[in-house]
Structure 1
Amino acid sequence: MRLTSFTDYGLRMLMRMASAPERAFSTADLAEEFDLSRHHLSKIMQRLSRAGIVETRRGGGGGATLAQPASELRLGRVIAVLEQDQPIVECFGSGPHSCTIDRQCGLKARLRAAERAFLTDLDRSTLADIALSEPRNAA
């Protein structure tokens, strides 16, 4: 299974946030640290916020913090949130598709089972298990 860059960047952001849970992180700071688009990270932060994974505050001293301890955030759930609307194969998508073997396909059920197994296995780990130990820019 290949994860999207959206998920990759979201996991990086969460790993950083888990390394200093008392600190509020701005998307600008995270974008600079990881050399990524601030606009792209803002979209990721919005999705994480809507899912209740992070809490955001605007204004001075604002930013994003984890909505719960990193030890309670299961990786499978986080990845499912970040990968939503990204089907493993085209025929799993919600839009129109033209699969000529759809009624005979034995692959679909196996792929769905594999995807569930993948996320279930990741749920054995938490964000705390993969948190960054210290900021990359630390001296």
Structure 2
Amino acid sequence: MQLTQYTDYSLRVLIYLSLKQPDELGTISEIAGFYGISRNHLVKVVHNLANHGLIQTIRGKHGGMRLARPATEIAIGEVVRLTEPNFDIAECFNKATNLCTITPVCALKSILGEARSSFLQELDRHTIADAVSKKSALSKRIHLSLPITSSPRRTV
């Protein structure tokens, strides 16, 4: 299974913003420049993240964006579910295009379904804060001066 570029970019935006001070805003251009990715792609990503309440956007000359809630409260599984178009990891999951003749008697769909469920449960155990557990090294990489605080690991 491979996550889409859209999900990857969504996670990168959230990680980047989580390294900012709570009152400090990030911009699409800043994030696009840091990661070396398309500003146009990020506009769509940011719009979606804002629509789902994961980030706040502020318009205007001194506008930008920030996390809408603490990084410890944003589960990676939540982000993946919001950004992935589907989790049809094999043809037998898609009723519209399933041409496999053995699907009705094959256990593969059930096995893959359990694996998919386990994958998402594992992602639900981790937050954006967990992804930035090496905050000092990440801050240096992004060239931000941030306070280093430890965040407790989220368990579900």
Matched, 1:138 2:139: no
Q: How does 1:66-77 map to 2 (within 5 A)?
A: 66-77=67-78
User: 1:76·1:123 contact (CA, 8 Å) conserved in 2?
Assistant: yes
Match runs of 1:1-139 below 5 Å: 1-20=1-20, 21-85=22-86, 87-93=88-94, 96-131=97-132, 133=135, 134=139, 136-138=141-143
* Residues 87-136 of structure 1 deviation map (CA, whole Å, 9 limit, x = unaligned): 32344347544333332332222222211211111211111111262052
Amino acid at match of 2:30: D
1:47–1:112 CA distance, 2 compared to 1 (3 A): farther
Counterparts in 2 of 1:99 and 1:10: CA distance versus 1, 3 Å: same
Task: Indicate how the Cα distance of structure 1 residues 105 and 48 shifts in structure 2: closer, same or farther if over 3 A, else same.
Answer: farther
Structure number with higher relative contact order (C-alpha < 8 Å, ≥ 6 residues apart): 1
- The AA in structure 2 aligned to 1:52 is G
Equivalents in 1 of 2:39, 2:95: separation in Å? 29
In 1, are the aligned partners of 2:28 and 2:42 still within 8 Å (CA)?
yes
Show structure 1 runs of 5+ residues with no match. Answer: none
- Give the number of equivalent residue pairs: 139
What TM-score do you get using the length of structure 1 for normalisation? Answer: 0.85
- Secondary structure of 2:32's counterpart equals helix
How far apart are 1:24 and its partner, in Å? 1.7
Partners of 1:96 and 1:81 lie apart in 2 by: 23
What's the secondary structure of 1:24's corresponding residue? coil
Query: Relative to structure 2, which stretch is displaced further, 93-102 or 47-56?
Result: 93-102
Rg comparison, structure with higher value = 2
Indicate the percent of aligned positions where both proteins have the same amino acid. Answer: 37
CA 1:12 to 1:91, structure 2 compared with 1: closer, same or farther past 3 Å? same
**Contact 1:85 1:93 survives alignment (8 Å):** no
Cα RMSD of the aligned pairs, angstroms, is 2.2
Consecutive unaligned residues of structure 2, counting only runs of 5 or more, are 145-156
* In 2: Cα distance, 1:61 partner to 1:86 partner: 39
Q: Counterpart in 1 of 2:152?
A: none
